[in-house]
Structures are given as structure tokens and as C-alpha cells.
Amino acid sequence: MDQSETALAILENIPLAPYTTLGVGGPARFFLRARTEEQILESMEFARVRSLPVFVLGGGSNLVVSDSGFPGVVVKIENEGIRPVGDRDSGRISVAAGVEWDAFVQHSVSRNLAGIECLSGIPGTVGGTPVQNVGAHGEEAGEVIARVCVFDRESRDITDLSNADCKFAYRSSIFNTTHKNRYIILSVDFILRVDGQPRIHYPDLQKRFGGGAHLPHVQEVREAVLQARREKGMVLNHDDPDTKSAGSFFKNPILELAALAKMEVEAREKRALNPAESIPQYTATPGKVKVPAAWLIEHAGFRKGFVHKNAGISGKHALALINRGGASAQDILELMRLIQDQVEAVFGVRLQPEPIFVGEFR
Ligand code: EPU
């Protein structure tokens, strides 16, 4: 019998740490593996009739689970399938939420489809990408998402959300802001570019490809991105303890130009900045700039490789908090607060965490 035809498996008191890339956190009261869309719906019903809270688990790459775990139902989304929609020339592909994100990127790149090659090597599943509008090296998932098919927990219907409905912005969408916990993502439709022409916006890639003199193939861009991510410890590798993380732990703050100027003056007064130095910045939206949180962390006095109990800062990138082995969620939380407090004391801005926190935190 095909696995998808087996009944929904209902497990109890299952430790969640092994299901996350950071590897911290206690057990789920119930743990359900949903291998088909029907099983996802069945899982929702299971939780509803018991009035238990639900947490939807994809690849677990952007999560901090509390040491006490989750007192409700964790549904692990494992539906599969990558399917072209309509005419091949439309570049439209429908992908089940449970598909591993990088497997989908590889699938697309090998078919000369452009639009997600810069998002190579990102851990997690397809269903997680719209939630925080995953982005890297100048591309964001929200730029190529045409439709998100969801189960609406309020109306208990399956419905389609358009790109505009999702309200994508930097690391945000309705799924992690206004409509948190309302929708369960079942599948995502992407429209990729059939001309296979990558867009090289990001300075590190522009430099790598000689400033646009030669337009690389999407496969070359994928390889360059994977290489860059490996160097930053942002590709999962069991032999590299710097990769036991939730990726970037903080968002890059977005500031008004006037606020940035004030920050610079104050940082110089506190000697966190030399008179000749300025704070790095990237244009975000007109009149606003994005400041790299990694830079703020290092200039607030933390070095790469900083240790706090069993948690630490990656030796390769100041924005990744790592589990050095045997860390508790509390260790990670304490380190997060140390960094937030210190960056705020020096630069006057409180860094906002990027991962989702699951369960109770003190
Ligand atoms: N920097 C430091 N110290 C470091 C690393 C970086 O000071 O250890 C400074 C440098 O000035 C550098 C700047 O930060 O030029 C930017 O660094 P980087 O290019 O690595 O990008 P980032 O802003 O730190 C963002 C995303 C990453 C994504 C990279 C590459 C966020 C929060 N993070 O990081 O996304 O891979 O760009 O495009 O926007 C993730 O979200 O989990 C993630 C890994």
C-alpha cells in the first residue's frame, strides 16, 4: 500500500528538537504526520474537536521551540508534488506545501526556469516560504508567488489567496502578522521566468559575475549562492556546528534616513564607531535604509564565536545564533536578550527576532 493511503498516524509526547534545525525544545502533546491534503484537513479536525491549539511544522528551519514543548497538536506537513500548471510557456508551477524548498529550486533551475535561483540552499519546506517571505541575495519568494492555496480555519473551507492578498513585505506577510494561525498553507503556485535569465542585484553576486559583463546561467548562480551560503555557515551540514541554527536570528532593522544619521552620531559618541567609519546601509524603500543587524551586533561588542552557556554566535556569521550542543531554548533566549540589550544600549534600536517562537517562554 502507498504510504499516502495509510491512516493518519497520531503520536503523543514527541520531542520536537530533532524536527528543528536549531535542535532545542520539548515535546508536542500530539504529533501528527499529514502526508496528503486530506490528512492535513483531518489533523485540523482532530485538534478542533479537542479544542487544542495547533502548530504547523514544515522544515523546522526557522523555529525556537520552548523547553516545555507545545501543549497542543503539532501537524507535520508532508504532502508532496511539483506540477506544471497549464501551458509550459507560462512558467507556472504548483508545489505542495510539504516539498523541500531546495528540491524545488533544483527542479526549477535544472529546467532553466529563473526567479528562485538566489534562494538556493535555504532549508525548510515550500509551505514556509510565503509565511516570512523568504529572501536572499536580492530575491524574495513573494516576487514569484502567484497564489497560495490554504485551509481557512475560520470558515473551514479551502480557498485561494492571490499575491496581493498575502501582503508580502520584508520578511513578512499576512501569515506572520495580521492572519497568524488562521490559514494552513496546502500548496503554492509560482510563476517563474521561462527565459532562464537570472537577475543579479546583490553586490556579492555582481562582483562574482564581473559586474554584468557576462550573464550567467541560472545553474551558475545557484552554485555561487550555495558557495556563499556555505561560507556563512548557512547551509545545513552535520559536520559543521556553525550550521546548527535557525538561519538569521534577527531581522535587519529598517530606518528612516534621519534615524540613521542620529544613530551614527550617538555611536561615535559611545566610541562604537571611528570618526572615519560609517554604518553600512542598503536602500530598502524610498527614504528608508536597511542596516545589517550582523554589523550592529559586532559593533556592539560581540564577536563571531561568542559563547553563552551551550548557545553561541556562529563563527562564520554574527546573525546566526547556534546550539553548540545540548543547548536549551532558555540558553538561546538568554543570548538573544543579551544581544538585544547591548545593541539597544549602543545603537538605540532593539533587534527583532526573525524565527517563530513555539510554546511558552519566560
Ligand atoms: N556583516 C557583519 N558581520 C557578519 C556578517 C555580516 O558585520 O558576521 C555585515 C557586513 O557589513 C555585510 C552585511 O552585514 O556586508 C550583510 O551581510 P550578508 O550579506 O551576510 O547579509 P545579511 O543582511 O546579514 C541577509 C538575510 C539572509 C540572506 C543574506 C544573503 C536577513 C535577516 N538575512 O543577511 O537570510 O541569506 O542576506 O542575501 O535579511 C535568513 O533569513 O535566515 C537568512 C540567512
User: CATH code for 241-358?
Assistant: 3.90.78.10
Are 148 and 210 spatial neighbours (Cβ–Cβ below 8 Å)?
no
CA–CA dist 357, 83 (Å, integer): 32
- Angle at which helix 218-231 crosses helix 101-110, to 10 degrees, equals 150
CA-closest candidate to residue 343, choices 331, 335, 355: 335
Q: Dump pLDDT digits (tens) for 169-194.
A: 999 999 999 999 999 999 999 999 99
CA-closest candidate to residue 222, choices 133, 104, 346, 129: 104
Contacts of 141 (CB under 8 A, 6+ apart): 116, 119, 129, 130, 133, 134, 135, 168
CA-closest candidate to residue 326, choices 16, 22, 31: 22
Please give the distance, rounded to the nearest whole angstrom, from the Cα atom of residue 358 to the centre of ligand 1. Answer: 24
How high is the pLDDT of residue 212?
64
187 is a catalytic site residue = no
Please give the distance, rounded to the nearest whole angstrom, from the Cα atom of residue 104 to the centre of ligand 1. Answer: 23
Sign of CA dihedral 23, 27, 29, 33: positive
CA-closest candidate to residue 190, choices 276, 115, 247: 115
User: CATH code for 82-231?
Assistant: 3.30.465.10
CA–CA dist 225, 121 (Å, integer): 8
Task: Domain ranges for the chain, please list them.
Answer: 10-77, 82-231, 241-358
Q: Dump pLDDT digits (tens) for 79-130.
A: 999 999 999 889 999 999 999 999 999 999 999 999 999 999 999 999 999 9
Q: Dump pLDDT digits (tens) for 8-26.
A: 989 999 999 999 999 999 9
354 is a catalytic site residue = yes
| Block residue for cell numbers 513578512 | 172
Class of domain 10-77: alpha beta
CA–CA dist 96, 98 (Å, integer): 6
Pocket test for ligand 1, best of 279, 295, 316 (most atoms within 8 A of CB): 295
Question: Percent of the chain at pLDDT above 90?
Answer: 89
